Amino acid sequence: MSKFIEFVIRKARGSNTLKRAYKSTVSSYLNTHVSEITPFNPIHSSLEGKRINLLVPSINKEHVFGGISTAINFYDELVLASQGYSRRIITTDACPESEDLDRFPNYTLVTCEVDAEYRSQIVPFNDRYNKTIPVSKDDIFIATSWWTAYFAQRIVKWQSEYYGQEIKKVIYFIQDFEPGFYPWSSQYSLAESTYKYKGPQIAIFNSSLLMDFVIQQGYSFTEKYSFEPKLNTALKERLVPVKDMNKQKKILIYGRPSVARNAFTLIVEALRTWVWSYPNASQWEIISAGEQHNDIDIGNGVTIKSKGKMSLDEYAEELKSSAVGLSLMISPHPSYPPLEMAHFGVLVLTNNYANKNLSNLHGNITSLEELNTDVIANALSDLCAKFEYDNSIGTRSLSSMESYINNKKQFDFIDDVIKNL
């Protein structure tokens, strides 16, 4: 609460005028909107023929990594397999800049309210208050986050009622258990409601682990498919035999302060415990990758050095030289950094969650059942000691993820999806 509001409260005692002023001040700070669900209003489109619409928060360079990149790859393969469907990318949260459009050379930028006939369109719809967007009777929608699923589920209902036809299936590309991104709240309930949707819905899960978790919670879908993680193509090109990597006394952490499920503060507190409990801690370097933050002095002469979001070349070099990794993910999604680290010969410390135990996927991964500062610090000390005793230890562990680095198609179910639309 601000000092101004506290001042108003104190002065308001015994004064009706100031009490009214207090109420007015408090109400001006009250947020009664859920910004994610700003209405998405469809109108008639005269377009003929099927069109695949990707509802995605952003295609901007700074956002296209991890989940959005995977969703776009899926969309591209679906479009390729659809044999002639038109295509439209609708951005719901950010307007692309000209340099972002360069990565989509065959697409035409179209204003949201124009019923254009271009076969490949990009339509910014982030600024959509009191605006509309054309939807035809044959439009098909892919959702890539809970709020885009919320939109898609309402669009196909409108589409069915307006054109007098059966309700179309929504393709829901699910990459994590998104209600868990929020405390018990309005957003939690809204995100969960997209899994409880009663209309026809095809769920595409990022990993069988995530699919099993969601189904175990009692949610059901008309159809469901899953795909397994694959090593980023650019990283794969930089993957040399582990025995040829120059491993050093370096701990690589996945540091994302803004993403609660990556437990950044827990990682830092655990390192503060480790730095005083591990005898050789001062000999180790600690690098934080993922999101820029200030360097952090954790005591005993050791500092966490932030390198933020690195280029793939820089990241690959850190993977090749790091001996130990620490990457947490408080969700059922397997998370990419532990898998990348392990396949680059890093001894990785991560966590279990529900049915997820990444130690089953690679011998270099230690997955903790319990998370607290002492448990993490002790396990980290064990990994550091193992490396100091045998600096080639990470070269001998095996992966059980056959599909992670092979050239097989990641979305081998796409033909079935197209057939069932």
Confidence of residue 7 (pLDDT cuts 50, 70, 90): very low
Res. 101: pLDDT tops 50: yes
The pair of three-digit structure tokens given for residue 35, joined into one six-digit string: 């910004």
Confidence of residue 27 (pLDDT cuts 50, 70, 90): low
What's the whole-number average pLDDT of the chain?
91
The structural domains of the chain, with segments of one domain joined by +, span 1-30, 36-229+412-419, 233-403
Same topology, domains 36-229+412-419 and 233-403? Answer is yes
14-23 pLDDT, tens digit per residue, is 445 444 544 5
pTM confidence score: 0.90
Q: Given this model, what pLDDT does residue 9 score?
A: 37
Confidence of residue 62 (pLDDT cuts 50, 70, 90): low
157-168 pLDDT, tens digit per residue, is 999 999 999 999
Tell which CATH classification among 3.40.50.2000, 3.40.50.300, 3.90.1170.40, 3.30.499.10 matches the domain 233-403. 3.40.50.2000
Q: Given this model, what pLDDT does residue 18 score?
A: 46
Res. 13: pLDDT tops 60: no
Fold of 36-229+412-419: Rossmann fold (3.40.50)
